[in-house]
Amino acid sequence: MASEITYAEVKFKNELPAPVVKGLPKKKKSEQHPQKYPLWLPWLISLLLLLVCIALVVVLLVVPFSHSSAQPSALQQQFSEWECDSALPQGTERGWMCCPKGWRRFQRSCYFLSLDKMNCAESAQNCTGMGSQLVVINSKAEQEFLSVQIGQLMRRDNFYIGLFLEKVGQWQWVDKTPYNGTPMFWREGEPSPGHENCTVMHAPEKALYNWNNVKPDMMHHRICEVAAVIV
């Protein structure tokens, strides 16, 4: 009898299990240490801020007045209080005109009408010491303005102006403005001949023509004039 051969299927599982890939170990985060600053740094920052503040004060208070190159420094040193008003057309770079407190502004000039009296030379020196000069009258409008200001003081006194007799027949303004190039407002019969080589505005005279020449040793009030500071 023929022997039966039995075949059996044998399956070999060659598949290996998928390798488990373990993640790389995480690196430890580096410890963050607070950055250390020099102890003097806050002091340096404070000093710089202080310097910036000082610079701003200089720019706001000092620089505007330095823009007026014609302004005598003596005037700025004499007065710490100023009165300003808007007097220039809008759109200009600078639109404020300033006069020392107590002075009166007309157009582009500031005027000081004194309460005390001095002789002619002392009056001129006093105005110069304030960074100004005895007034030089260049127009009818200016003469009208000053006459009104004198009338408001309710004083029947004279005021020196910056017109002097250098030699016989030759009058000269203190700033060398040509005398013949300015309007004249002499009272009737003035100037009188003699040694009266200084000029005053005669306060009792109500008319526009109120100039009067006087002797230089006479004690009178004075009118000082200076260009307004534009800021």
- pLDDT tens-digit profile of 93-133? 567 889 999 999 999 999 999 999 999 999 999 999 999 99
Considering its fold, how many domains does the chain have in total?
1
- pLDDT tens-digit profile of 39-91? 777 778 888 888 887 876 554 455 444 444 444 456 767 787 888 887 665 55
Whether 21 is in a domain gets the answer: no
Whether 101 is in a domain gets the answer: yes
Q: Which of 119, 82, 120 shows the shortest CA–CA distance to 101? A: 82
Q: 180 or 58, which is more confident?
A: 180
- Which CATH number goes with the domain that contains 81? 3.10.100.10
Whether 108 is in a domain gets the answer: yes
State residue 186's pLDDT score: 96
Whether 177 is in a domain gets the answer: yes
- Domain of 219? 65-230
Whether 39 is in a domain gets the answer: no
